[in-house]
Structure 1
């Protein structure tokens, strides 16, 4: 069996095999006249010595000197072929006009390959879009959406990028972490995530065909998948050929043409995990301490998924390069199709589900399935993905089958602590209870609910005390730490803490077995031997702002109510399957698509809500003052998110997220739908969550407007019942709501934490009467024009407002206000902004 050191070397060789392409494009004087293989080899040799990591850089092509003599090089060579097997950037001398190598070619956005998923037969193509090299390289991964114009990646831009890469690599090397696969991958993603894996510019028969062949897989995605396939092929061949691996080169067995045939063996497994019961688990809590409990439960699910993935990878001897995606209660990875792999997966599935059943009484269950696939499937992974999806759906129909004896056994007596009480968060009666103090209140809770509350509290404390929190992982229970400072997940323990980097008196805890750096791109912080990145939507208002729901409601701008928004990407399944053109549904492209979506929902979401430097300017309705967003992310991952906080901040945050998502994808066909509900901070969270979920479903389904049927999706349900498309030139949309609000804005002023009517302007009574009229029009379908004219005719404003008054009258009486529903929504928002407080029952 391959040793851990050998497996790590193979993985690093895969991650670095094409590093020379990156350095070559910086056009350093020492690299003139050398191939990218030679350039990569010399640089890696200087840092790793004459070993597999360096030698792999110059031995991964069919023409390289030693590829056909050593099995390590053979699996690296074949893994490179597997990763690049889908490339369309190849010259066809019968169809194409020309092909030229150009180092300054930018990377095409993977989102621009997605056709319109809202069509029954997707065929409409989005406009081209291109990623630029980062303009600034700093401690954060900056916000840089793709552009419609094809720019260039000049050598000086590559030079600056390479210089930053070398500096941060040296920081890793200084503490020995250049052998840490997780840290190396993080470094490569930061610096090569927008670098094209190849720079062949093919000119096709027309612009459409030329763009189809434009490079669209980043160097990072190519390196990552090459490393994954290297480990899989090594495991597959080692189990199949045993001692022959050490005796002779397995040329035909590893890289022969027959291994690509339709009837060839399947060396790979596509593994999928689906955590069932997430929604019910999240929202079945009381109103007491709701925000910390929600944050804790949500982040617990993030940590459990990470724990599950770690457990799978460790049992298989794999690394994070094998993970395709994790988030939203799902994870996917690629492994070797071996007997040992299947045995390990079955053991892990049983062990994790025993923990979930015991600690959560069957509320959560992890479904783990896997399907084999061939090398030939890498060119179109639709069929393996469909088989895996089908296997997971079938497995979910048999929920709890491994615990039937416990489920169907004799009813168990309540725990003695529960004879007169129960957990006041989740309602369980089968666990020991203890007292949990929440502000001025004390409640009785079970151990899992206590841990989740602690987790939410610790996250808030970590974010308050240190700019970049870390999560310590302990493989044994830490005896020197108070029990309320960490939580248990199966056989491991996790402690959120503040990351005070650069301060001598605050160093990373070396006694921990691993350190997760939360949303941190500064590689100089990755000094622990177990340092690794973790992305999660964990935005919280800053320390001096309200951080519990009641305070958010009371101290927010306008009416003291809580808003809940649920959003998700429309037709994500079709985006990954039917909406990618045939011949382009490749492994690397789908992996790249998953990575970009994950980056948006698990990393950039924090910068959007924070209004961090470089991100789109925050929406501020009706001229209200700027300030921190009084909202927080309950969960964000996969393709969906859940926000809760003050109703106005949450509404504006939803507008910001949609705007940023449209810019990030640069594809009008990749859309997002959202639903919003408003309620009291004392209302049970599950009711608000259900109401927001129903609002989201309303945004997604077809609906009737008069005699017309309006297609669903691509919409936002405002305030629980007003459904508007994000953008539609023919009917009321979200933009028209904001336009109507702009026409009303001149007649109000900011007064502390609310709006007030301007002197000699429009009274509140005017707004309420106008609201009544537009509601009558919506409900009855008949516009009461005389009453409208009477209302406007009797209303007088000060001379300074005459111009705005004339514009409002023209807007209301003109066709610009066609439909009127958007005027009603704008009036509701304005009136809610004119009320202050009112959160208390």
Structure 2
């Protein structure tokens, strides 16, 4: 019989906190131990010992801090459910036990039975030479391995809060009870501040709290300890909610049905389509800085709101958003007929919303869903499942907007009439314009007006309110506040506050002393030498292979989610810290020179003074290497475009994207393209160093502008001798004599004009071959740009 008094809310909270005892036990918090109910919560070995004693610490924790839990929640239910997952004796206890198994992908359990987790007190010390609390969390990025790449070297997470540069791993590490205890004390202090929140608020804030303190704690220490306690508990809560809804809908709330395999789960793929065109297609230069950051923020916010809206529709929780980054998400739902019917309705509803809000310029794809059983979630099958989820997302993309176009037709009559009557908005070219209040000649649409307002507020905002109960006009679903404004419950922006969920937004931009956003022309004028802007676009190489192959037989949904989470944090939270605290080659903070267009998921785009952007590209690539412990399977490629500040943003982005594609086509990728040359990052560092050296000599009048121009000409002529060998059988027949003798001309120029032996040596090395000469364009162009005033 099912205990009808137990609620889904109690089950979900119990799932979130079922392993809090692991943290307490490793910290040796004796005050939480001493239960007389070991036999109830633990199992007994053949020699009479109790196993899985962390559950007793879980009981002790919940006993001590029960007042923190939301009102209208039965504490006794939560305590019993959370502490019984290794020795379940009732239907709801079995749900958490099964969810615990599913989360680990059966790495440490019998998927249709009771989890066979480690006995923490009897850890294999002889084999590992470590006690269970001494084994550190393995940094998952340091373990990824692609075929054909060198084996990676494992690195470890530091025992610290998730903030600033804490995600950078260390090569050697052994944790201690003292470190666990220090982190525990901070966690408990902040946990107590959740008191007074309602259920929904509590879960959002709890997620941020556990992410902050549990990200570096291994869920298990008897095997590869590369799944964080945070990710394991989050995924456990997701499976628990899905199982609850499935068996309730199927009227099969009993242990036998729960432990019987079947297609109980539905994974849906969500994806915003048209991001690049939407962000960069700005028709005028007016308000570009505000519009660009507002659109980037809007895409993040829409993805967050819609994913939460979907979970509400199916009765699951925030934990069921398994991954969310870069405008994409995967959500776990119960696979019931009711859910499938609601999903069809939801697809149409979301398509209709985007058609009305964005007139087809931006669309949102929700897949039909991929069904899965217990067996599909075992580690030997989960890669196939994840690939199938991705394939279903691709199929959904090929059918985007079909439901709404079938219902509404391809002509938006109201918009057409308004466009005919009022003309198009000069800023977006999508909606009808209207006069701007206080201006006789300026016109813009309501959407752009709201985005410009948001773009200005983002610079100053520290509190964010998101409304996901229903889909409204974007401006009605978000609200930004400064610190001194009073708001009851909000997302704290880039600054952890224990009682509130944290959101890391990377939208850093140069501003005035009055906190006003600098225009792109203002930023260009901050450049050294030539007053140019540069845009750097980059993303992680081979991302599909990394997610589908690099974990091999170790793959589980928790590992998949942890990998996504770690990468996203690097490109959002760590990125924000890096830009705010690091300086360029002139000792000037990046935050004062670089404007963030977007960063998150696995990619980024920044715009700033040309010399800072060139240095930033190298510095950020080095940080990624540190983040992965120099893992050769995880690399990044980028493209840099140098432009006039008055050039439309879409043209700047097009140029940067072309250069990024050139880097992606480079053998082995892991490259950057700038000044018409594609080089490896190691080469880029060398040419950038040479460029700084040449620039300094030019400043001292020891290297003439004429020689620099000559070397740019030599690079251009050498490039012609290379030609396009894919299209031309014999390049030499199409190259004139002047281009062929570029090297002898170079030697002559050096003999006549360069007396400095070190300088001559560096320049002469460029003549080794045509490819090297072409690459030298980076160094000499840098020097020329730096001394444009000469």
The 1:265–1:28 alpha-carbon spacing in structure 2 relative to 1, beyond 3 Å, is closer
* Superposed displacement of residue 813, structure 1: 3.1
User: Does the CA-based 8 Å contact 1:146-1:664 persist in structure 2?
Assistant: yes
CA distance in 2, matches of 1:80, 1:321: 14
Counterpart position of 1:235: 245
User: Does the CA-based 8 Å contact 1:736-1:822 persist in structure 2?
Assistant: no
Counterpart position of 1:71: 91
The 1:491–1:348 alpha-carbon spacing in structure 2 relative to 1, beyond 3 Å, is farther
The match for 1:424 among 418, 423, 426 is: 426
Give secondary structure in 2 for the equivalent of 1:313.
Answer: helix
User: Does the CA-based 8 Å contact 1:283-1:689 persist in structure 2?
Assistant: yes
The answer as to 2:448 corresponding to 1:455 is no
Counterpart position of 2:228: 218
Counterpart position of 1:680: 644
CA distance in 2, matches of 1:436, 1:833: 43
User: Does the CA-based 8 Å contact 1:436-1:450 persist in structure 2?
Assistant: no
The 1:542–1:41 alpha-carbon spacing in structure 2 relative to 1, beyond 3 Å, is farther
Give secondary structure in 2 for the equivalent of 1:761.
Answer: coil
Counterpart position of 2:541: 570
CA distance in 2, matches of 1:428, 1:564: 25
The match for 1:812 among 751, 757, 763 is: 763
Counterpart position of 1:44: 62
Give secondary structure in 1 for the equivalent of 2:360.
Answer: coil
Q: TM-score, normalised by structure 1?
A: 0.80
CA distance in 2, matches of 1:4, 1:123: 55
CA distance in 2, matches of 1:147, 1:476: 39
User: Does the CA-based 8 Å contact 1:675-1:699 persist in structure 2?
Assistant: yes
Counterpart position of 2:749: 791
The 1:406–1:474 alpha-carbon spacing in structure 2 relative to 1, beyond 3 Å, is closer
CA distance in 1, matches of 2:415, 2:459: 37
Give secondary structure in 2 for the equivalent of 1:577.
Answer: helix
User: Does the CA-based 8 Å contact 1:771-1:827 persist in structure 2?
Assistant: yes
The answer as to 2:590 corresponding to 1:586 is no
Counterpart position of 1:503: none
CA distance in 1, matches of 2:715, 2:505: 43
Give secondary structure in 1 for the equivalent of 2:236.
Answer: helix
Give secondary structure in 2 for the equivalent of 1:301.
Answer: helix
The 1:792–1:452 alpha-carbon spacing in structure 2 relative to 1, beyond 3 Å, is same
Give matches, 1:723-742, under 5 Å.
723-727=678-682, 733-742=683-692
Give secondary structure in 1 for the equivalent of 2:270.
Answer: strand
The 1:461–1:108 alpha-carbon spacing in structure 2 relative to 1, beyond 3 Å, is closer
* Superposed displacement of residue 419, structure 1: 3.7
* Superposed displacement of residue 457, structure 1: 1.6
1:29-64 deviation per Cα after TM superposition (whole angstroms, max 9, x unaligned): 4357772111121111122264233223321103xx
The 1:413–1:101 alpha-carbon spacing in structure 2 relative to 1, beyond 3 Å, is closer
User: Does the CA-based 8 Å contact 2:204-2:318 persist in structure 1?
Assistant: yes
CA distance in 2, matches of 1:421, 1:22: 62
The match for 1:718 among 658, 674, 677 is: 674
The match for 1:182 among 204, 211, 215 is: 204
The answer as to 2:274 corresponding to 1:277 is yes
- Richer in strand (by share): 1
CA distance in 2, matches of 1:627, 1:323: 33
The match for 2:164 among 142, 147, 161 is: 142
User: Does the CA-based 8 Å contact 2:218-2:227 persist in structure 1?
Assistant: yes
Give matches, 1:333-344, under 5 Å.
333-344=331-342
CA distance in 2, matches of 1:30, 1:783: 83
CA distance in 2, matches of 1:113, 1:573: 16
The match for 1:632 among 567, 572, 595 is: 595
User: Does the CA-based 8 Å contact 1:811-1:817 persist in structure 2?
Assistant: no
The 1:814–1:490 alpha-carbon spacing in structure 2 relative to 1, beyond 3 Å, is closer
The 1:744–1:441 alpha-carbon spacing in structure 2 relative to 1, beyond 3 Å, is farther
* Superposed displacement of residue 569, structure 1: 1.1
User: Does the CA-based 8 Å contact 1:82-1:375 persist in structure 2?
Assistant: yes
The answer as to 2:789 corresponding to 1:831 is no
Give matches, 1:103-182, under 5 Å.
103-116=133-146, 119=147, 124-134=150-160, 137=161, 141-147=163-169, 149-173=171-195, 180-182=202-204
The 1:457–1:3 alpha-carbon spacing in structure 2 relative to 1, beyond 3 Å, is farther
Give secondary structure in 2 for the equivalent of 1:428.
Answer: coil
User: Does the CA-based 8 Å contact 2:767-2:773 persist in structure 1?
Assistant: no
Q: TM-score, normalised by structure 2?
A: 0.85
CA distance in 1, matches of 2:619, 2:357: 38
The answer as to 2:480 corresponding to 1:516 is no
Give secondary structure in 1 for the equivalent of 2:672.
Answer: strand
CA distance in 1, matches of 2:98, 2:341: 26
User: Does the CA-based 8 Å contact 2:590-2:612 persist in structure 1?
Assistant: no
Give matches, 1:629-708, under 5 Å.
629-666=592-629, 667-702=631-666
Counterpart position of 1:207: none
User: Does the CA-based 8 Å contact 1:725-1:734 persist in structure 2?
Assistant: yes
User: Does the CA-based 8 Å contact 2:580-2:589 persist in structure 1?
Assistant: no
Give secondary structure in 1 for the equivalent of 2:525.
Answer: helix
CA distance in 2, matches of 1:554, 1:565: 18
Q: How large is the Cα RMSD of the aligned pairs?
A: 3.2
